[in-house]
Amino acid sequence: MRIDPFLTERLVKGLLWCFTGLTLFFLIFIIAFISFKGLPQVTLQFLLHDIEDMGRAGGIFPTIVTTIYLSLVALAVASPLGVGTAIYLTEYTREGWITRMIRFGAECLAGVPSIILGLFGFVLFVIKLNFGWSMLSGGLSLAIMVLPTIIRTSEEALKAVPKEYQDVCFSLGITKWQTITRVVLPCALPGIMTGIVLSIGRSISETAVVLFTAGASLRTPTTLFDSGRSMAVHFYILAREGLSMPNAYGTAAILIISILLINITAYSLMQRFLQKYS
């Protein structure tokens, strides 16, 4: 029996609409649920106070500082490395087995489970290099984690810059490095920034890596060698040990809202970049 194509058309349309709706529903449900449970906890007190009684009382100020601290260390290390690698891959080598190897390596790195990356960071930075559970160990491990994202987005952004610009620069006798810094990078900047902002989002939400490498100290970290617990870790411990569900949701709400804001920023940057070159 043949089905009427017009009926199929309508069925498919309905089905696809349902899929999209369901996807959207999950997103909205999670955000709404966490906000509903968590936002009542969120007060200025909650944001600006130290953790008390293992998290049953007090605020989450140290976890916010730790989260930002870790992300900044990760970015400070991963951005130059990632953008540098991307520049090397796009500008200084020709497509060949070496570039393919590097790219494949980066892809594999992106596929490493974060718990294993955490273990690696623990063994290398915490034990071997004797940084201890610290902002430095945590930041470096997160840097390794976000490196592939930064490399790939930067590479795409650099590739999108019209080749003609480089021809023009070379024909004017401008050196390669001048061309890259004065023309190529400024054009690719919004795209590169998108990758970096997305990486911030990933480092903020990462739990396993941080738990292994930055520890879970309750104090506010000041130096690079201080331990601290990030928001995600704090949430994990509060929920896991059943210390205080309301405070866990409060932390989760802050976490999810900041990630949402970060992704919106990344998205709008990307839009601007695409508008410029299409």
Partner 1 sequence: MRAPKIQVRDLTFWYGQHRAIDTLQLDIWQGEILGLMGPAKSGKTTFLRVLNRMCDLVPGSRMAGSVLLDGEDILRPECNVDTLRRRVGMVFAKPVPLPRSIYENLAFGPRLKGKRINRKELEELVETSLKAAQLWEEVKDRLHDSALKLSGGQQQRLCLARTLAMQPEVILLDEPTSGLDPISTARIEETLTELKKDFTIVLVSNNTKQIARCSDKTAFMLMSRLVEYGVTHEVFMVPKNKQTDDYISGRFG
Residues 35-74 that bind partner 1 (CB under 8 A): none
Residue 102 binds partner 1 (CB under 8 A): no
Spatial separation of the C-alpha atoms in residues 52 and 58, rounded to whole Å: 5
Residue 170 binds partner 1 (CB under 8 A): yes
Spatial separation of the C-alpha atoms in residues 222 and 10, rounded to whole Å: 61
- Tokens 């709400």: give the residue: 253
Considering only residues 183, 224, 243, 259, which one is a binding residue for partner 1 as defined by CB under 8 A? 183
Q: End-to-end CA distance of the chain: give it in Å, rounded.
A: 46
Backbone dihedral angles phi then psi of residue 209, each to the nearest 5 degrees: -60, -45
For the chain, how long is the longest CA-to-CA vector?
73
Residue 189 binds partner 1 (CB under 8 A): no
Instruction: Kindly tell me which of 188 and 196 has the beta carbon lying closer to partner 1.
Output: 188
Residue 93 binds partner 1 (CB under 8 A): no
Residue 185 binds partner 1 (CB under 8 A): no
Instruction: Kindly tell me which of 130 and 171 has the beta carbon lying closer to partner 1.
Output: 171
Instruction: Kindly tell me which of 186 and 246 has the beta carbon lying closer to partner 1.
Output: 186
SS3 161: coil
Give the range of 144-152, 178-186, 190-198, 237-245 binding partner 1 by CB under 8 A: 178-186
Side chain identity at 99, as an amino acid letter? T
Please enumerate in sequence order all residues whose Cβ is within 8 A of that of 25, keeping only pairs 6 or more positions apart, or say none: none
Residue 97 binds partner 1 (CB under 8 A): no
- The residue count for binding partner 1 (CB under 8 A) is 17
**Closest CB 277 distance from partner 1, rounded Å:** 10
Residue 278 binds partner 1 (CB under 8 A): no
The total of other beta-carbon atoms located within 10 Å of residue 156's CB is 17
Residue 130 binds partner 1 (CB under 8 A): no
Instruction: Kindly tell me which of 84 and 186 has the beta carbon lying closer to partner 1.
Output: 186
Residue 172 binds partner 1 (CB under 8 A): yes
Residue 164 binds partner 1 (CB under 8 A): yes
The number of CA neighbours under 13 Å toward the Cβ of 21 is: 6
What is the total residue count of the chain? Answer: 278
Residue 171 binds partner 1 (CB under 8 A): yes
Residue 175 binds partner 1 (CB under 8 A): yes
Residue 174 binds partner 1 (CB under 8 A): yes
Considering only residues 2, 94, 128, 240, which one is a binding residue for partner 1 as defined by CB under 8 A? 94
Give the range of 34-42, 132-140, 173-181, 188-196 binding partner 1 by CB under 8 A: 173-181
Residue 240 binds partner 1 (CB under 8 A): no
Q: How far are the Cα atoms of 167, 219, 277 from residue 183, in angstroms, in the given order? A: 11, 45, 14
Alpha helices in the chain (DSSP H): 5-38, 44-48, 61-87, 97-111, 114-121, 135-160, 163-171, 176-179, 185-205, 208-213, 231-240, 245-277
Q: What is the contact surface with partner 1 in residues (CB under 8 A)?
A: 94, 162, 164-165, 167-168, 170-175, 178, 182-183, 187, 276
